[in-house]
A and B are shown apart, each in its own frame.
Chain A
Amino acid sequence: MSATPTLVARAGTWFHRYANPGRFLRLGARLQPWLTWPALLLTLIGLGWGLFFSPADWQQGDSVRIMYVHVPAAMLASAGYAGLAVCAMLSLVWRHPLADLAAVEIGPVGACITALCLATGSLWGKPMWGTWWVWDARLTSVLVLFFLYLGHIALIRAFDDPQRGYRAAAILALAGAVDLPVIKFSVQWWNTLHQPDSITLTGAPTMSSSMLWPLALSTLGFSLGFAAIVLARTRAAVMESRIRSLLSSPRRRADAAPGEAA
């Protein structure tokens, strides 16, 4: 009986070590170059390899090269939303102040990467399927994910009191997480036009290593890039929050309006 609260309390204590803005900013500044430069390098190598050196597919021809952008974007769209749900949990359960700021910053980046996934999917679908869009279970569930991101962004800004916005958006993020397994298993649960996953955690990949390597590099590069952008935005948000609190301090208000203070 007492084990669960202790575990929750311990986890809360661990998470709150990084609630200190100064500690987070120091850690973030150290981490930033280790995310940014490998992201740039791996993405360039992965996409360059995929575009110029990997072989064309025997069925898809050169259109398979779109996969080196589409697959990492699709993986990150779901992973980003999972990150949003984790932030929501941290915010609702442990009231972690940085979790709210991180969630605010993950939303737009996740929405952009989901839009990229949908757009590149359409650009692949037109030459391969002969259509830009079908109301297939996989495509529709990713479109729902895009709307969830947009809803999260809108909900955070919908209240005068930011705390209410954070709470409402956190609830939406947690409720929307139900879409993630639907996206993942849609190609197994329903008869879809979208092909089944070529890479799974349990089975061997069903693609040649000459395609797997550039895909792995671009996926890793995209993931590090996503993390680098979210980290930079969160660091900026923490600094902006500090700026707001400095500007609204009574001493500064008095300095800004000496006549009123007198």
Chain B
Amino acid sequence: MTHLPYILASYGLAALIALALSIGAALRLKQARMRLAVLERSSDRTTGATPSL
């Protein structure tokens, strides 16, 4: 192949950006989902305890 370094650099850069964006989004989504689940569980417990007070 001619100009192989330029071609590899282009595909490598595309893969790097795609991976960084996808992994970043997936981790952020997972973390937000877990934190929200924990908070909503504790919020439900608090709400559930209110009538007995």
Q: Which residues of B contact A134 (CB under 8 A)?
A: none
User: Is A45 on the interface with B (CB-CB < 8 A)?
Assistant: no
Q: Decide if the interface of chain A is mainly helix, strand, loop or mixed.
A: helix
Q: With the chains together, A65 CA to B1 CA distance in Å?
A: 10
Contact residue among B9, B14, B29, B40 (Cβ-Cβ distance under 8 Å from A235): B29
Question: Once the chains bind, are A65 and B40 in contact (CB under 8 Å)?
Answer: no
Number of cross-chain contacts by CB at 8 Å? 92
Interface majority SS (helix, strand, loop, mixed), chain B: helix
Bound form: Cα–Cα A70–B9 in Å: 12
Is the pair B28, A233 in contact by a Cβ cutoff of 8 Å? yes
A235 to B36, CA, bound (A): 12
Residues 8-30 (chain B) with a chain A CB within 8 angstroms: 9-11, 13-14, 17-18, 20-22, 25-26, 28-29
Whether A240 touches B6, Cβ cut-off 8 Å, given contacts A116-B14, A246-B40, is: no
Contact, CB under 8 Å: A70 / B2: no
Interchain CA distance A157-B20 in the complex, whole Å: 22
Interface status of A80 (Cβ within 8 A of chain B): no
B33 to chain A, nearest CB (A): 6
- Closest chain A residue to B32 by CB distance? A239
Bound complex: CA of A112 vs CA of B17, how far in Å?
Answer: 7
Q: Which residue of A lies closest to B39 (CB)?
A: A246
B interface residue numbers (CB < 8 A to A): 1-4, 6-7, 9-11, 13-14, 17-18, 20-22, 25-26, 28-29, 31-33, 35-36, 39-40, 43, 46
Interface residues of A (CB under 8 A from B): 43, 47, 51, 61-63, 65-66, 69-70, 73, 109, 112-113, 115-116, 119-120, 123-124, 126-127, 225, 228-229, 232-233, 235-236, 239-240, 242-243, 246-247, 251-252, 255
Known: A127-B2, A232-B25, A233-B28. 12 other contacts (CB 8 A): A62-B3, A63-B6, A65-B7, A112-B17, A116-B13, A229-B21, A229-B25, A232-B29, A235-B29, A236-B32, A243-B39, A252-B46
